[in-house]
């Protein structure tokens, strides 16, 4: 397998890799020195007195999260808020992972994504599970820090691998499945992905931390990641989580996967993650919003989804959305820019900004000021939110699809990665 050249995570030579790492660290240090976290929100929450009845109902439904600034900001797009917040509540409060282990993974993801907001909230929850201040600091140091139990170190390593490679390595997967069942593995991988989506959104929107939350990302700890981009995937190999076959479907699953009784096989992605139908419904509301309720044009959506498929090295997502994209006007020139990056050739300025935003969310977990301004010149607030949800939501899906080993569907043969990306 060859590695792809998409920036700091995939430099093609040791010397280039060192230059990228130095540049990334310098950029991060510069952002800190400029007090980026203290900037005014790009999108402020909807004030209490200006909320519609719909917005008030949504806000009341998520009071228990204790995150009024985040919820209030998402209320700028009520339909999106109603679709993405139920699964976020599940990820942070109710997954099948033991509470302590759920918080370990959440805090490590907050650290990896540089999300002060998520760290501030998860630190409070983590202490309630018994995590100490010393352990919170050790989470930032990472899975190789002394003091972790082997399984806890493996959990943290899984978060690192997902963040960098959008894929849980064989060794880590095998170690986790010694203790976790299928539902727990799905909750782990999708949970890291969902928190990553929200981190990128909250950082890009500039959501302020509420008064009374005093925790911040631990200072003075070098930003290191205990993983690397491998681009190794399971296409053509046995899936780790095989899709459920029709004879295994309950009546509930049959109604979900083949509601018309057509007898046609379900797409592999849908048949793979249905082991816990109520949770699957919450989870599917996120991509469901992106596919059916987005305020972006179909073409804009497919540009974003195929590009994040390339960056995450998810051939399944790339093929699915290139297939859809061809039906809504994605051209050969578009495909070349999707596969090679926004700077490969000149094109429509908004298309360039959309592709660049995708790259920045993947690389930095935040859309830069310049790219945000370029997007905001053409898109309204709801469209900007949908950019964040589309990229983050399908990064989340890519992590799960690749880690579970979901195989390509038969209708994807003509839309596979070009040879140089396989």
196 with 300, same domain?
A: no
pLDDT of residue 22: 40
- Output the six-digit token pair for 106: 């959440």
pLDDT bucket at 256, cuts 50 / 70 / 90: confident
Q: Are residues 191 and 291 in the same domain?
A: no
Task: Kindly state the average pLDDT of the residues 276-282.
Answer: 94
Residue 388: pLDDT band with limits 50, 70, 90: very high
The two structure tokens encoding residue 171: 């060794």
- CATH number for the domain spanning 175: value is 1.20.1290.10
pLDDT at 13: 43
Query: How far apart, in whole angstroms, are the C-alpha atoms of residue 257 and residue 275?
Result: 12
- Asked, for residue 195, whether it belongs to a domain, the answer is yes
Res 373: pLDDT? 98
At residue 38, the pLDDT reads: 54
Q: Which residues contact 324 (CB under 8 A, 6 or more apart)?
A: 298, 302
**Domain total for the chain?**
2
Query: Concatenated DSSP letters for 239-270?
Result: -SSPPPPGGG--HHHHHHH-TT---PPPPHHH
For residue 19, tell me if it sits in a domain. no
CB 394 within 8 A of CB 304: yes
Q: Per-residue pLDDT for 421 more than 60? A: yes
pLDDT value at residue 349: 96
Residue closest to 106 by CA, chosen among 80, 133, 140, 73: 140
Query: Roughly what angle, to the nearest 10 degrees, separates helices 99-112 and 150-165?
Result: 40
- Among the candidates 205, 229, 259, a domain finishes at 205
Q: Which two tokens stand for residue 384?
A: 């900007």
Q: In whole angstroms, give the CA distance from residue 283 to residue 273.
A: 10
CA dist., res. 75 & res. 208, Å (int): 15
Tell me if residue 87 falls in helix, strand or coil: helix
Is 118 a member of any domain? Answer: yes
The answer to whether residues 126 and 102 touch, using CB atoms and an 8 Å cutoff, is no
Q: Residue 254: inside a domain, yes or no?
A: no
Give me 152's structure tokens: 């806890």
- For residues 201-224, give the mean pLDDT: 97
| 5 found inside a domain | no
pLDDT tens digits, one per residue of 213-223 = 999 999 999 99
Q: What is the pLDDT of residues 56-115, one digit of tens each?
A: 999 999 999 999 999 999 999 999 999 999 999 999 999 999 999 999 999 999 999 999
Mean pLDDT computed over 239-258: 91
pLDDT band at 31 (very low <50, low <70, confident <90, very high): very low
Last residue of a domain, one of 183, 205, 227: 205
Residue 17 scores a pLDDT above 70? no
> Does residue 363 register a pLDDT over 50?
yes
Tokens representing 173 are 């997967």
Taking residues 140-165, what's their average pLDDT? 98
Domain for residue 25, yes or no? no
Mean pLDDT of 30-50: 73
Q: Are residues 46 and 184 in the same domain?
A: yes
Asked whether residue 291 falls in the same domain as residue 193, the answer is no
Same domain, 68 and 200: yes
Do residues 296 and 405 both lie within one domain? yes
Tell me which residue of 238, 111, 228, 98 sits closest to 161, measured CA to CA: 228
Supply the angle between the helices 381-404 and 78-93 in degrees, to the nearest 10: 40
Q: Is 335 helix (H, G, I), strand (E, B) or coil?
A: helix
Residue 12 has pLDDT above 60, yes or no: no
Q: Is residue 211 part of a domain?
A: no
- CA-closest candidate to residue 362, choices 162, 149, 159, 70: 162
* Pairwise CA distance, residues 192 & 190, whole Å: 6
Domain boundary among 174, 205, 236: 205
> Domain range for residue 399?
287-421
How many residues appear in the chain? 422
Tell me if residue 232 falls in helix, strand or coil. Answer: coil
| Rg for the chain, CA atoms, rounded | 20
* Residue 314 CA: distances (Å) to CA of 177, 233, 237, 268, 421: 22, 8, 15, 14, 10
Percent of the chain whose predicted confidence (pLDDT) is above 70: 91
Same domain, 191 and 295: no
Instruction: Give the residue among 260, 306, 307, 253 at the shortest CA–CA distance from 284.
Output: 253
Name the residue with higher pLDDT: 110 or 264: 110
Average pLDDT of the chain to the nearest whole number: 92
What are 391-413's pLDDT values in tens digits? Answer: 999 999 999 999 999 999 999 99
User: Among residues 33, 200, 24, 31, which one has the least CA distance to residue 113?
Assistant: 200
Distance CA 32, CA 295 (A): 33
Q: What angle do CA 176, 182, 186 make, to 5 degrees?
A: 85
Nearest-angstrom CA–CA distance, 137 and 193? 22
* Whole-number pLDDT of residue 9: 43
What was the pLDDT predicted at 252? 87
Residue 249 pLDDT exceeds 50: yes
Residue 235 lies in a domain: no
20 has pLDDT over 50: no
């Amino acid at each position: 397998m060859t590695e792809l050249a998409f920036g700091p995570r995939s430099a093609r030579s040791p010397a280039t890799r060192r230059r990228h790492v130095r540049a990334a660290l310098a950029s991060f240090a510069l952002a800190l020195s400029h007090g980026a976290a203290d900037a005014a929100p790009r999108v402020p929450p909807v004030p209490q007195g200006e909320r519609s009845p719909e917005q008030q109902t949504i806000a009341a439904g998520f009071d228990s999260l204790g995150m009024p600034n985040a919820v209030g900001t998402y209320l700028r797009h009520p339909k999106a808020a109603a679709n993405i917040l139920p699964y976020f509540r599940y990820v942070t409060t109710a997954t099948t992972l033991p509470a302590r282990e759920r918080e370990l993974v959440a805090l490590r993801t907050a650290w990896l994504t540089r999300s002060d907001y998520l760290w501030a909230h998860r630190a409070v929850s983590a202490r309630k599970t018994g995590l100490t201040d010393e352990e919170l600091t050790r989470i930032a140091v990472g899975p190789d820090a002394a003091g972790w139990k082997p399984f806890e170190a493996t959990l943290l390593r899984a978060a690192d691998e997902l963040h960098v490679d959008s894929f849980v390595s064989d060794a880590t997967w095998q170690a986790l499945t010694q203790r976790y069942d299928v539902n727990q593995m799905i909750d782990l991988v999708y949970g890291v992905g969902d928190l990553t989506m929200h981190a990128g959104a909250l950082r890009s929107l500039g959501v302020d931390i509420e008064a009374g939350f005093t925790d911040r990302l631990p200072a003075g700890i070098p930003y290191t990641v205990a993983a690397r981009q491998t681009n190794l995937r399971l296409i053509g190999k046995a899936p780790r989580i095989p899709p459920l076959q029709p004879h295994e479907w309950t009546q509930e699953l049959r109604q979900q996967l083949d509601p018309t009784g057509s007898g046609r096989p379900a797409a592999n992605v849908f048949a793979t993650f249905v082991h816990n139908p109520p949770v699957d419904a919450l989870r599917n509301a996120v991509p469901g919003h992106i596919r059916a309720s987005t305020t972006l044009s179909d073409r804009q959506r497919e540009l974003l989804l195929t590009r994040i498929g390339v960056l995450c090295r998810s051939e399944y997502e790339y093929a699915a959305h290139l297939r859809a994209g061809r039906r809504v006007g994605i051209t050969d020139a578009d495909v070349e820019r999707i596969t090679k990056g926004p700077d490969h050739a000149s094109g429509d300025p908004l298309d360039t900004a959309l592709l660049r935003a995708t790259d920045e969310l993947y690389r930095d977990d935040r859309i830069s000021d310049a790219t945000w301004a370029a997007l905001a010149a053409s898109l309204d607030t709801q469209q900007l939110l949908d950019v964040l949800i589309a990229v983050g939501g399908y990064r989340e899906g890519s992590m799960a699809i690749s880690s579970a080993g979901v195989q390509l569907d038969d209708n994807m043969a003509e839309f596979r990665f070009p040879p140089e990306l396989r």
